[in-house]
Amino acid sequence: MLITIPDLLDPQTLARCRSRLAAATWIDGRATAGPISATVKNNRQLDPTGRDAVEIGAEILAALHRDPTFLSATLPLRILPPMFNAYGPGESFGIHVDNAVRNAPSDPTRIRADVSATVFLSDPDDYEGGELTIETPFGAQSVKLPAGHAVVYPSTSLHEVAPVRSGERIASFFWIQSMIRDEGERTLLFDLDQTIQDLRLRDGEGDPHAVRLSFVYHNLVRRWAET
């Protein structure tokens, strides 16, 4: 399930993040890559333990917890602190799969990476190339979203960032361990939740069909959730 989330970051938050990132110091992105990914990774990252990464990441985490689409699509149990990367001309990240188990640089707690997320911090007009391409059961999907928008997709997916031809692509990326481990179950729950929300908007909070479907939804979560 590949879900785009428009306007995850409001204009004020986005402006603050972009201003700090413009003045930040970047390091070789291979410092946080696994041994296989390092062979195809050519970008720059913020030091994940540095003040800029920690404080900007906290703003993104706060936005995630306010966003109903993100919460519905991922049903998060744990979210790894956001990290940040930059791609300039000639830089790219070849096709790879994310590690199954991740941990924060300053925290020994490990999470299972069920869902991968990218928050775009550069506008599409700021750079040429740099598309995030994700392999899905329905073919490869190319994603290049406005600044402040996000995409979430299964961490089991092969994906890549195409070479940037000009300009600079800056984004945040991170992983989520979902309460619902199975991707198919998460997809069913997301579709069911969206249907419930549509009914509530159309027919009001007390709509009996929405109430009945909510009963089904919450009992499925109760059956499937890991906490």
Closest by alpha carbon to 49, among 65, 32, 61? 32
Domain enclosing residue 88, as ranges: 3-178
Q: Rounded distance, CA 190 to CA 196, Å?
A: 10
Give the span between the Cα atoms of 131 and 144, in whole angstroms.
Answer: 5
We report the CATH number of the domain holding residue 118 as: 2.60.120.620
- What tokens does 19 get? 């201003």
* The token pair that represents 42 in the structure block: 């050519």
Q: Which residues are paired to 4 by β-bridges?
A: 151
- What are the structure tokens assigned to 55, written together? 């404080």
CATH code for position 209 = 4.10.860
Are 125 and 52 spatial neighbours (Cβ–Cβ below 8 Å)?
no
Mean per-residue pLDDT, 17-38: 84
pLDDT at 34: 67
Three-state SS for 44?
strand
Judgement on whether residues 126 and 86 belong to the same structural domain of the protein: yes
What average pLDDT does this structure show over 114-140? 96
- Condensed to tens digits (0 to 9), the pLDDT of residues 135-155 reads 999 999 999 999 999 999 999
- 62 and 170 fall within a common domain: yes
Looking at 140, 163, 178, which one is the last position of a domain?
A: 178
Q: Do both 80 and 144 map to the same domain?
A: yes
Q: Which has the minimum average pLDDT: 87-91, 103-107, 124-128, 176-180?
A: 103-107
- 116 and 165 share one domain: yes
Contact 40, 159 (CB under 8 A): no
User: Are residue 206 and residue 156 in the same domain, yes or no?
Assistant: no
* Residue pLDDT, tens place only, 51-90: 999 999 999 999 999 999 999 999 999 999 999 999 999 9
Determine what percent of the chain is predicted with pLDDT higher than 90. Answer: 86
Query: Are 165 and 198 found together in one domain?
Result: no
Percent of the chain with pLDDT over 70: 99
| Tens-digit pLDDT profile for residues 155-195 | 999 999 999 999 999 999 999 999 999 999 999 999 999 99
Residue 107, pLDDT score: 77
Do 211 and 193 fall into the same domain?
A: yes
Question: What is the pTM assigned to this prediction?
Answer: 0.93
202 and 119 in a common domain? no
Based on the domain organization, do 171 and 192 belong to the same domain?
no
Query: Could you tell me how far CA 41 lies from the centroid of its own chain?
Result: 19
Same structural domain for residues 66 and 152?
yes
76 & 164 share domain: yes
Do 121 and 15 touch, CB atoms closer than 8 A? no
Tally of structural domains, the chain: 2
Last residue of a domain, one of 160, 178, 196: 178
Q: Are residues 214 and 130 in the same domain?
A: no
Retrieve residue 47's tokens.
């030091």
